[in-house]
């Protein structure tokens, strides 16, 4: 008996798989970027609150948060 070819893929599934091949781990990278940006924003808010409260903030900390 000759081997049968697999049934054709759904066009939407095929397009999704081709997109994943072109840009692998895109959803993971997006989640990491969101997490890093949220962390940086939280650090900036805390630094601003410390400045408003009159606490001294080191210049290096300001450069890290702004840069």
Q: Which residues span the domain enclosing 50?
A: 26-66
How many distinct structural domains can be found in the chain? 1
> Tens digit of pLDDT for each residue in 9-59?
888 999 988 988 988 888 899 999 999 999 989 988 988 898 899 888 788
38 and 45 Cβ atoms separated by less than 8 Å: no
pTM to 2 decimals?
0.61
Q: Using DSSP, state whether 5 is helix, strand or coil.
A: coil
User: Would 41 be classed as within a structural domain?
Assistant: yes
- Check pLDDT > 90 for residue 3: no
Q: Burial of 44 by CB count in 10 Å (0-12 exposed, 13-18 middle, 19+ buried)? A: middle
Looking at per-residue confidence, does 67 or 2 come out higher? 67
Rounded CA separation 4/10 (Å): 18
What pLDDT, on a 0 to 100 scale, did the predictor assign at position 66? 76
Q: What are the residues whose beta carbons fall under 8 Å from the beta carbon of 47, sequence distance 6 or more?
A: 57, 61, 62, 65
User: Would 60 be classed as within a structural domain?
Assistant: yes
């Amino acid at each position: 008996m000759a081997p049968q070819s697999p049934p054709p893929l759904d066009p939407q599934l095929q397009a999704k798989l081709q997109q994943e091949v072109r840009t692998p781990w895109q959803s993971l990278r997006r989640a990491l970027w969101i997490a890093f940006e949220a962390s940086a924003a939280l650090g900036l808010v805390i630094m601003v609150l410390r400045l408003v409260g009159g606490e001294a903030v080191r210049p290096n900390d300001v450069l890290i948060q702004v840069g």
